[in-house]
Chains A and B, each alone.
Chain A
Amino acid sequence: MWLDLALILIVCLGVVILGSSRLGTMIQLFAAQSLVLSATPLLVHPGKHAVVMTMGTLILKVFLMPNLLSWAIRHVSIRREVQPLVGYGKTLMLGGFLMGVAFWISFRLELPVRETSNLLVPCAFSVVMVGFLLLVSRFKAITQVIGYLVMENGIFLFALLLLEKTPLLVEMGILLDIFVGVLIMGIVVNHINQEFGSASTVNLTNLRD
């Protein structure tokens, strides 16, 4: 029951991120999504393993990553997506369509593992697709990073299916890798700001054939 509620909340927050244009709001929404996400391991398999995962997610995704992203855009004057590649209305409609696809795929695939909630797989697919859409449809470097992170949140939901089977060491390694990835991305976004005067990847068009 609580797990279903959390899953629906995560998907809804993903859609809200897709529809928002202000960078600061997007970062906060991502933090909120991660907060809900961090509770899910405890809801699926309460235990020592789940507590470690919850703590890891809480520290990295709820505190460190949003702060890092805010740091990377601290000097940016235009703090919203000015001209997205695809309009907001269209992105939202596309997002809705992709979620339909996600549910359709999940009901066709037969799971060889016991699942705690039949919403888990469709929600995971939906969040991955929403993140992917965000990544490809926006120009701001920071929005693209948030898209990547939302995608990672979706992948995290998949990992819940295998919570007690994956070695803890491997899971922590994955979390750490993602964090370092975001750290390096944040630094590069900072370089882009300094060098091009804005955090928009529209300027990155020197390299072409």
Chain B
Amino acid sequence: MELFLLAGFPALMAAVVFLLRQDRLRKIILFLTSLVHLFVTISFWQGPRDVQFNPFLGFDAASQLVLTLVSILFFVVSIYLIGYLKEKRRRSNGIFMGCLLCLLSTMTLVTMSRHMGLLWIAIASTTLLSAPLINYYRKPRGIEATWKYLLISSLGIALGLLGTLFLAISAAPVKTIFLADILDNAALLSPSWLKLSVIFLLVGYGTKMGLAPMHTWKPDAYGEAPAPVGALMSGAVTACAFLAVCRVAQICFHAGLQRFVSPIFILLGILSMGIAAIFIMGQKDFNRMLGYSSVEHMGILALGIGLGGGAVWASLFHAVNNAFAKGLIFLVSGNLYQGFRSKKVENIQGVIHRFPVTGIFLILGFIVLIGFPPFGIFYSELLILKEAVTAQRYLAAFFYVLFLSVIFFGYSGVILRMALGRPTEDTPVTAKKENFFMIAPLVILLGVLFFSGVFVPGPFYDLLDEASALLGGR
């Protein structure tokens, strides 16, 4: 029953939404479906961590962590969409909402996959379903972004499929690629094929995550996608890809390949942060800047996994906080786009004077994302630095601090000018006033960020500890 409500029900509702004619009804269904999904997800918090529905589907601590964040973020976005989709539009929103619901269903499938082939199928489906979402406005720039996203991601997941096959070849003595079987018999895996497979899987799922140098689709896609889609993609979809990467790390940990993979993770992480630092400086488009910011945070996640030990815990903690922070800032960017009809930084000035509440949330989002003290990202970034120094990875620690400070300067220049600058005179006539549905999701996300970073509840700590123990962290 729970299995159906989590994975099947959203897909079923997608069909219903697609067939319906009325937008109002569609929004209600979208909202109710995400509410049901959230309730079922939370109900799993009380039960045992390891649940096995059937050989292919099940839970462990890491999946529960990612599923929870996906579910919360989707719920918040579904509230936001009630206000966002009000604009008059020539085409119906049926395909858009259907794809959203199917995306929820496939993201759930990613978290529950206990078979590496099924995991690939689910990840590939999230890519395919998010492509029509990026192309919502059907503008030339959107089509270009969709094409680049489709092509680069498809190439990435094709390499991921190759990696999955190599994994199956290396697991020939084990006979299956069920995650549990591989982990139990990790010593039997053929090392040369496993190494080849790990490289292909990391490139493949790394493309989905948006690690440099496979990140090139990210600024384009996030720059052109509607803001709620950007929030879902940078928060939830990347978290799913991160989970897939964690599975690869988990296999490596059990097969004793840490010495082989950790330099790869560290290199990918530092490279992503470096690329993000270069392009965030002097960025003229707010949403593209958020895209590079996502590249940066994915880099931090990879770095944390690579450093091992306590950094794995920090990395998982960071993944959760990053997802909600990205959700918050993307929804703010949606409000800004509705208010100013532009994504260019030069056109968005003096937000706090024109839209006071959005302006405050813009500054708050900035504080969260950049890692200022009370919030979780500060803690995880500090923990990763500490772990890099204690592991005597001084070079990595040096670049880490360097890039973080460059990004800090790049960010603060852009966002503070947007928030506090002098409003431009030529205000567009179509500007919308702030309404309930634009503000309520931001308030919820801020509340969630407090509980995931500042006053962390006990069960959440336990979940993080167990998930990080799966990956060989402390």
**Chain A residues near B (Cβ < 8 Å):** 109-113, 128, 132, 135, 141, 144, 148, 151-152, 155, 158-159, 161-162, 165-167, 170-171, 173-174, 177, 180-181, 184-185, 188, 191-192, 195-196, 201, 204, 206-207, 209
Contact = CB atoms under 8 A, between A and B. Distances in A.
A207 B162 CA distance: 30
Contacts of A171: 117
A184 B279 CA distance: 30
B176 A207 contact: no
A188 B143 contact: yes
A23 B322 CA distance: 45
B162 A158 contact: yes
A162 B176 CA distance: 10
Contact of A135 (B115, B128, B155, B288): B155
A155 B165 contact: yes
B140 A151 contact: no
Given A165-B168, A195-B143, A209-B288, A204 B117 contact: no
Nearest to A105: B196
7 contacts: A109-B196, A112-B190, A113-B172, A158-B165, A173-B117, A192-B147, A209-B288
A165 to B, nearest CB: 6
Interface in B111-148: 115, 117-118, 120-121, 124-125, 127-128, 131-132, 135, 138, 140-141, 143-148
Nearest to A176: B121
Contact of B162 (A111, A128, A181): A128
Contact of A112 (B118, B161, B172): B172
A161 B169 contact: yes
B145 A155 contact: no
B381 interface: no
Contact of B279 (A112, A144, A181, A209): A209
B158 interface: yes
A135 B219 CA distance: 22
A203 B241 CA distance: 31
Contact of A206 (B141, B158, B165, B190): B141
A110 B192 contact: yes
| SS class, residues of chain B in contact with chain A | helix
Interface residues of B, number: 48
B150 interface: yes
A113 B283 contact: no
Q: Which 6 A-B pairs have the closest CB atoms?
A: A170-B117, A173-B121, A204-B144, A113-B172, A112-B172, A112-B190
Interface of B: 115, 117-118, 120-121, 124-125, 127-128, 131-132, 135, 138, 140-141, 143-148, 150-151, 154-155, 158, 161-162, 165-166, 168-170, 172-173, 175-176, 190, 192-193, 196, 219-220, 223-224, 279, 283, 288
B121 A177 contact: yes
A166 B117 contact: yes
Nearest to B118: A170
Contact of A165 (B143, B150, B175): B175
B192 A109 contact: yes
Given A110-B192, A155-B162, A207 B224 contact: yes
